Amino acid sequence: MAQDLVIVESPAKARTIKKFLGNKYKVEASMGHVRDLPKSQLGVDIENDFEPKYITIRGKGDIINRLKKEAQNAERVYLATDPDREGEAISWHLAHLLDIDPNSTCRIEFHEITQQAIRNAIKHPRAINMCLVDAQQARRVLDRVVGYMISPLLWRKIKGGLSAGRVQSVATRMICEREREIQEFVPEEYWIITGRFVKEDGRTFEADFYGTVDNKVTPKSEEEVKGLVEKLRTAKYAVHGVKRGVKKRSAPPPFTTSTLQQEAYRKLGFTTQKTMMIAQQLYEGVEIRGEGAVGLVTYIRTDSTRIAEQAQKEALEYIRKKYGQQYVPEKPNQYKSKKGAQDAHEAIRPTSVLREPEAIKDSLTYDQYRLYRLIYDRFLASQMAPALYDTMTIEIVGDNGYLFRATGSRKTFAGYTIIYMEGSDNEKPEKENEDVELPEVSEGEKLSLEEVLPEQHFTQPPPRYTEASLVRALEEMGIGRPSTYAPTISTIIERGYVVREKKSLVPTELGFIVNDLMMTYFPDIVDYKFTAEMEKQLDEVEEGKKDWREIVREFYIPFKELLKKADEAISKIEIKEEVSDVKCEKCGANMVIKAGRYGKFLACPNFPKCRNTKPYVEEIAARCPKCNSAIVVKYTKKGKKFYGCENYPECDFISWDMPADQRCPECGALMVVKQRKNGEEYLLCTNKECGYRQERSEVNYE
């Protein structure tokens, strides 16, 4: 008896689906794309209305021949690629190669790899959606035209190996502009004054100086603070007002692709690329002890926060049984997707809340477990009741008219926070008021000012982008789509436009040069609104409202003129390389310092005649705490920066944090430089029993 053939992209996905379909079906993998534009040429026939010239991908011949043979012997063929533009295009290419009518009911679609979803998809096959295919073709052709026409210009004018692209060039611009903001930033001094007050019963609490009853006052200098402190110390104080309230903190929505990438970066330290790789494994299926191959999460490329009704019911019932009725919201939580979201798929969630992370931990790798737990906890939290806090604000006024304000809150019901707290890119607030209990006071009650604590601060420049904050910014501007963020960041790092430094994305000199050239000669390509508008037009193609060739045509005509003018106007740009005092042992030339994917390295300037390279040894000011030798900057195989003794392996000192050129004043141990998320640095003692901390801008004031 002939079997039905189901074709998916990966072997892992094939194994998982095979388990659900049984012997009537044969499941094969295409190993991703089978046809694409050629790498060696533009691959787009400009004169023939931008007709793509697809070819079979090199190395895929044996796979295609096997699929053709299986398709000929099969009673029916189902194309079961991912439920997005890319997946639809793969199915379309497969249909072409296997001689399947794309208008026949050959395509099946599912958003989670579970038995119910797979069997339901088999019962409801459909034709290939050519609107989705055309949207993917439009993106592919646009990106190919931009990349293959601007990149050769960059090779001629700057150096080989460079590239440009619609989204990557915009991302590079954002990082370069942020760096220039930081370089041009002029810090302004300001002071925060805290008062420690005492009640008659001896209880103390702190309040922040606000100003006068009518106006906020922020001291800008030490002289100003001195005069103010004297006035504050001599005044008599009383409670001017007490305000009580209840604050409700609602649960965060379940993950979209971008919020998963952001949170995995914040909480797990994963790059966007690593997050998507592991999430794909969880989606396609993992061998679970006692169950076999199981798809653990729903489809991972989505911009929607929508949840299936059945999944929500299961979650609410689970919450009721495990945590109690009080943790179930009065009505099920519903979340609005962001403006412009395609909303084609559900949010990312576990395929079953009954499959608890701890129960399957032994079947997962360490990173799979951590990411699955993050997705699981976030989804469960998103369906729970809000957290509740009693809040209290006390206003204290002196007889001189100066006002202090104390704020605090006490959690009265944990709600969703019993299992999950959302991460943040922002610096923690200077005063953390949550779970700060204030004493009971009454209006008119007299208070004594025990101590005035002025603290100097300086305004901080905007923080450098991290992968998380860049993804968020791109999404907020409508640039790119869920599937594009990870490859975009990987590309600008691989091209040498950007490097990672302490989790921040920092532009290189090459990045600035390429960005300035793009801004001057191709302003539309790197224009935020233009790029976002192009995404909207691609969405219109997907919705069947616009012809994809028309979009490419409208873009290409002015672009061709810009390209011609740029080629005529741009002179050869010389990138001056920093010459080191290290001699090349092969040819005797002084080696030059170059920036690569994993930081700086030394290379012979006589390349390609001499291809000698070696690590760039960068010393820091601190000395090794074990042997007093120099400490040098080093990199792991994956490009992560660390610090080690120059005498390794004789001396095994290493540190992930940069050692400071001073010892702890409390215990004499090594101090290291730590960095907050806003880029502000402080020093921390490495002796855990000591824990001494010193702000870099710390100024003692008596």
- What are the residues whose beta carbons fall under 8 Å from the beta carbon of 118, sequence distance 6 or more? 17, 20, 21, 110
Name the pairing type of β-strands 4-8 and 77-79.
parallel
Task: Name the helix (H) or strand (E) containing 560.
Answer: helix 548-569
Nearest 5°: the CA angle 390, 391, 393 is: 155
Sign of CA dihedral 451, 456, 462, 465: negative
Closest alpha carbon to 536 in 495, 481, 476: 481
Name the pairing type of β-strands 189-198 and 446-458.
antiparallel
CB 210 within 8 Å of CB 199: no
Cα–Cα distance, 101 to 455 (Å, whole number): 74
Q: Work out the widest C-alpha separation in the chain, in whole angstroms.
A: 98
**Backbone dihedral angles phi then psi of residue 411, each to the nearest 5 degrees:** -70, 125
**Backbone dihedral angles phi then psi of residue 670, each to the nearest 5 degrees:** -65, 140
**Backbone dihedral angles phi then psi of residue 18, each to the nearest 5 degrees:** -55, -40
Residue that has been written with the tokens 């379909």 in this structure: 21
Closest alpha carbon to 437 in 110, 205, 154: 205
> Which segments of 297-428 are extended strands (E)?
387-398, 402-413
- Tokens encoding 458: 């300086």
* Three-class DSSP category at 359: helix
For the chain, the distance separating the N- and C-terminal CA atoms, rounded to the nearest angstrom, is: 91
Cis omega before residue 649 (within 30°)? yes
Catalytic-residue membership of 299: yes
- Tokens encoding 64: 């295609």
**CB count in 10 Å sphere of residue 683:** 18
Cα–Cα distance, 498 to 464 (Å, whole number): 12
* Three-class DSSP category at 417: helix
Active-site hit among 25, 299, 372, 521 = 299
Cα–Cα distance, 32 to 86 (Å, whole number): 10
- Tokens encoding 241: 């007002």
Closest alpha carbon to 347 in 355, 356, 357, 337: 337
Name the pairing type of β-strands 4-8 and 25-29.
parallel
SS3 per-residue string spanning 497-543: CEEEECCEEEECHHHHHHHHHHHHHCCCCCCHHHHHHHHHHHHHHHC
Cα–Cα distance, 686 to 625 (Å, whole number): 11
Residue that has been written with the tokens 């026409």 in this structure: 149
**CB count in 10 Å sphere of residue 522:** 19
DSSP state of 362: G
CB 479 within 8 Å of CB 170: yes
Cα–Cα distance, 444 to 240 (Å, whole number): 6
- What are the residues whose beta carbons fall under 8 Å from the beta carbon of 122, sequence distance 6 or more? 21, 78, 108
| Cα dihedral 66, 71, 72, 77 in deg (nearest 10) | 180
Cα–Cα distance, 75 to 81 (Å, whole number): 19
Show which residues are catalytic: 299
